[in-house]
Amino acid sequence: MVETTAGPRWWIRTGWVLHALLRFVLIMAMQGYVWSKLNLTQMGRMDYSEALVATGEKSPMGLLWTFMAYSPVVQFLAGAAELVVVLLLVFRRTAWLGGLLGTVALGTVFLLNMTYDVPVKQFALALTAGFALVAAPELPRVARFLAGRPTAGTRGAPPLLPWPRLRRVTRWLVPVLGLALIAAQGVLFQQLQPAYQRTDVALAGVYRVVEDPSPPAARLADDRRWQQVAVGRWTWAGPTLPVPGAPPTGSAPLAIRTADGELVTGTWSPVRDGLVRAELRAPRSGPEPLLTPPARTVELAWSVRPDGRVTLSGDGQRLVLESDPELRFLYDRGFSWSYGNGAAVNR
């Protein structure tokens, strides 16, 4: 570090002030990603409604989201890693390590965004560059250490404030306020976007239609009868947002596959015992926004028969549903260390 008798040159001090501001910006920018992964809301929960969606019908981003949503552990650990990065940025002595780890973490996110066509590529690249700039001042010492060369001691960043008495206060006050800000963001996020809750309504499941008194259409391409029904089990516990297509509080996803091959998605909410309200979108077709307003709302009455089958009526439907173990295979398959068809399989 080049110094004069008056202390560090002004441009050195200015550079470290910008370094501190960059750390603050990165801490704030990462909050949504950190807490949405920790409470499993960024990618959501893998639910029964996904059972009716063929791989070829997904977008690249949808495929990535499904992969992450299937494993809550992976999603949570990704958020935990990002939280560690953010906490390291709070302290000047550990900020370089947070920058280094953040460069790796957000560089991986940027790579995923590029290869799975996630529409925040520029933002992920900017975050990656920001973390790299935070780590940059210490990178020469890290390189010497990795090369097995001696790393001389360093005085580190110069004091940002010229007043010693004030520095003695801000030395601890600023990190404490930083930690309090991160904790407050987590509490606020949990209030606005709480974790999904599992419903206790027995209707949740994946079914195929085994009885339908409706006559078939003359052509298969015109047959709108329901053939498969998937009723989600993870309900949205947050407030109903004033955005068209946002899920209502207490609703879970719903998917219907018709005989002509169309896929209808939406949400369902319990009205009372044996009755649910379904908000159905238009049949899926081409690129569409994540939050698509429903095309119609219907009420469906249901009951479980002694043989375990489910009767479903309403909206012109009088169906008997039977749980489909093949469509539930992904959800029912457990973990095993063993080999063979009775354990881990690749199908």
| 20-63 tens-digit pLDDT | 899 999 999 999 999 999 999 999 999 999 999 999 999 999 99
- Quick check: 170 and 284 in contact, CB under 8 A? no
- Quick check: 226 and 255 in contact, CB under 8 A? no
Per-residue pLDDT of the chain (347 residues; tens, 9 = 90+): 444 444 557 666 777 778 889 999 999 999 999 999 999 999 999 999 999 999 999 999 999 999 999 999 999 999 999 999 999 999 888 999 999 999 999 999 999 999 999 999 999 999 999 999 999 988 777 777 666 676 655 555 556 556 566 556 556 667 788 888 899 988 888 888 888 899 999 999 999 999 999 888 888 888 899 999 999 999 998 888 788 888 888 999 999 999 999 999 999 999 999 999 999 999 998 888 878 899 999 999 999 999 999 999 998 899 999 999 999 999 988 777 776 666 777 77
pTM of the predicted protein model = 0.83
Contacts of 53 (CB under 8 A, 6+ apart): 255, 263
Phi and psi at residue 326, to the nearest 5°: -70, -40
Please tell me the predicted confidence (pLDDT) of residue 1: 40
* All structural domains of the chain with their residue ranges: 3-192, 197-332
What is 197-332's CATH topology? Lipocalin (2.40.128)
How, if at all, do strands 226-231 and 205-211 pair? antiparallel
- Quick check: 121 and 110 in contact, CB under 8 A? yes
Which of these, 147, 105, 142, lies nearest to 127 by C-alpha position?
Answer: 105
Mean predicted lDDT score pLDDT of the chain: 87
Two tokens, residue 140: 């020469």
- Quick check: 281 and 265 in contact, CB under 8 A? yes
Residue 325 exposed, middle or buried by CB count within 10 Å (0-12, 13-18, 19+)? exposed
